[in-house]
Chains A and B, each alone.
Chain A
C-alpha cells in the first residue's frame, strides 16, 4: 500500500469484513428473487401468469412485498412467552445465512475454507428446527405447537438418511472440505455413479423435508393447522420465517450442486461461478417443480418414507460406495447399482405391505 502502512490486525480483518458484507448483501437479494422465481414457475404450472403488475415481468414484486410486510402490525398474543416469540424469527435466519459461508462458488471463491465444511453445513442446517420450535412454544398456540412437533419429528427422521447419504461423498472424495470435494469430481461428476445418484436423490428429498418445503411442509400445513408454527406471527417476523426457508432452499440447491454436480466445474467458455449458479438454479427449479406438482404427504407416510425406505437405502448406499471404490470398472459399478435397486425394491414392498388388523399396541406394552 506504499505510503500508508496497514496495521497487521486491519490487514486480516478487512478481507473478512468485505466477505461478510458480500454474503449478507447478496443472500437476501437472492432470496427475494427466489420468491419471484417460485411464484412465476408455480403460476405457469397452474396455468396463471403470476406477478406481472409491479415492474416489468413483476420484477419489483419482491420489493413491494417487503414494503408491505414492514408496514403491517406486529401482533403478539397475550399469553405468549415474549422472549421466545421475539427471538425465534431472528434465530432462524442467522443459521440460514451461515450456510453460505462454507459454500464454494468458484475455484477458491469461498468465505471460509473450513476443513470440515460439509459437517459444518449439516450441523448449522439442523439448528433451524430449534428456532422453529421456539416460535411455536413462544406463541402458546395449539396449532403452532402441533406444527412444530411435527416438524421436530420430521427433521430428526430425515436428518438420518441425509447424513448417511452425505457420508458416502467423503468416502470417495477423501475430504470434508467442499472445495476439495469439487476438485475430486474433475474426472466425472458424482451423480454419474450409482452410489452418487442414490445419494443425490436422498439428499435432495431429505433436504426438502428439512427445509420444510412442499410436499413435506407438514409443519405449516395450512389446510389443517391454519399456518402451522407461524400462526401467531404477522408482519416482518412472519416474513423472516419465509426468508429463512428460501435461503435454506437456495443453500440446499448449492450444496447438491457442489457435492454431486461438480460445483463450479464445467467447460471453459463460462467462468466457474456462472456454472455454479446455473447448476444451483436448475436444482432450485426442480424443487419448485416438485412443489407445484406433488400433493402434501400424510404424517404416517412421511415418517414411513424416512425410516423404512430412505434409512435402509442410505445404509446400503454406504456399502455401495465402498464396493464401487474397491472394485473399479464394471464390476463395482454393477454391484453398487444392483445393491441400491434391490434395497429400494425390498423396502418399498415392506413399507407398502398391508398392515395387520390389530397392531401391537406398544404404548401399553412398555
Chain B
C-alpha cells in the first residue's frame, strides 16, 4: 500500500471506529430505564450536598510540570528523525545530538536543584 492509501485507511477507520462505542450507547438508550430526579441528578459528593462550583482555578503547580513536559516533548520530536538515521551519522551525529540533549539535561538538573520537581502537598 502506498502512503496516501495508508492515510485513507486511517481516515475510514475513524468513522468505522466511532460505531464501536456509539452502538452500545444507542442500544442502552432504548433498553435502559430513564427515571431522573432532582436528587438523583445532583453531582455526587459522598452523599452531602455539593458546596461551591468545581469549575474553578486550580493549583498552579500543574503548569510548571506542563512546561517541563513541553521542553522534553519537543526534544523527542527532534530525537526520532535523528534516531532513524543515527547509524549513518556516526560519531559526529552522536556529538551533535549529545550537545542538544546535554543542554536540556542541564536544564533538568537546574529545575531539580530549584525544587521544581518536588510535589508539595
The residues of A with any CB-CB pair to B shorter than 8 Å are 12, 16-17, 19-20, 23-24, 27-28, 66, 69-79, 89-90, 93-94, 97-98, 101, 111-115, 118-119, 137, 139-145, 149, 152-153, 156-157, 159-160, 163-164, 167-171, 174-176, 226, 231-232, 235-237, 239-240, 243, 299-300, 303-304, 307-308, 311-312, 315, 318-319, 322, 325-326, 350, 355, 359-360, 362-363
In angstroms, how far is the closest chain A Cβ from the Cβ of B82? 8
In the bound complex, residues from chain B placing their C-beta under 8 Å from that of A28 are 20
> How many B residues, CB 8 Å from partner?
73
B31 close to A157 (CB less than 8 A): no
Interface residues of B in 14-59 (CB under 8 A from A): 14, 16-22, 24-25, 27-29, 31-36, 38, 40-46, 50, 53-55, 58
B21 close to A94 (CB less than 8 A): yes
With both beta carbons as reference points, the residue of chain A lying nearest to B58 in the complex is identified as A149
Measured CA separation A156–B74 after assembly (Å) = 12
In the bound complex, residues from chain A placing their C-beta under 8 Å from that of B64 are 362
A71-B32, A75-B36, A94-B18 are contacts. A307–B68 as well, Cβ < 8 Å? yes
Measured CA separation A112–B87 after assembly (Å) = 26
In the bound complex, residues from chain A placing their C-beta under 8 Å from that of B25 are 74, 89-90, 236-237, 240
In the bound complex, residues from chain B placing their C-beta under 8 Å from that of A236 are 24-25, 27-28, 32
In the bound complex, residues from chain B placing their C-beta under 8 Å from that of A112 are 1, 6, 9-10
A89 close to B21 (CB less than 8 A): yes
A142 close to B45 (CB less than 8 A): yes
In the bound complex, residues from chain B placing their C-beta under 8 Å from that of A153 are 62, 65-66
A159 close to B24 (CB less than 8 A): no
Measured CA separation A111–B16 after assembly (Å) = 14
